[in-house]
Structure 1
Amino acid sequence: MASNAAVPFWRAAGMTYITYSNICANLVRNCLKEPHKSEALTREKVHFSVSKWADGKPQKPTIRSDTPEE
Structure 2
Amino acid sequence: MASNAAAPFWRAAGMTYITYSNICANLVRNCLKEPYKTEAISRERVHFAVSKWAEGKPEKPNVICVSA
TM-score of Structure 1 vs Structure 2, range by shorter chain:
0.5 to 0.7
Which amino acid is the alignment partner of residue 4 of structure 1? Answer: S
Which has the higher Rg, Structure 1 or Structure 2? 2
TM-score (norm 1): 0.66
Deviation at 1:67, TM superposition (A): 1.0
Equivalent runs, 1:38-57 vs 2, <5 Å = 38-50=38-50
Q: Give 1:4's aligned residue.
A: 3
Q: Describe the shift of the 1:42–1:10 C-alpha distance in structure 2 as closer, same or farther (beyond 3 A).
A: same
- Where is the helix percentage greater, Structure 1 or Structure 2? 2
Provide the C-alpha distance between the structure 1 equivalents of 2:52 and 2:17, rounded to a whole number of angstroms.
28
Q: Give 2:31's aligned residue.
A: 31
Q: Give 2:17's aligned residue.
A: 17
TM-score (norm 2): 0.68
Provide the C-alpha distance between the structure 2 equivalents of 1:16 and 1:49, rounded to a whole number of angstroms.
28
Unaligned runs of 5+ residues in structure 2 are none
1:33-57: CA deviations, max 9, x gaps?
111010001001122345679xxx8
**Counterpart secondary structure, 2:25:** helix
RMSD of Structure 2 on Structure 1 (CA): 2.8
Q: Quick one: percent identity of the two aligned structures?
A: 68
Q: How many residues align?
A: 64
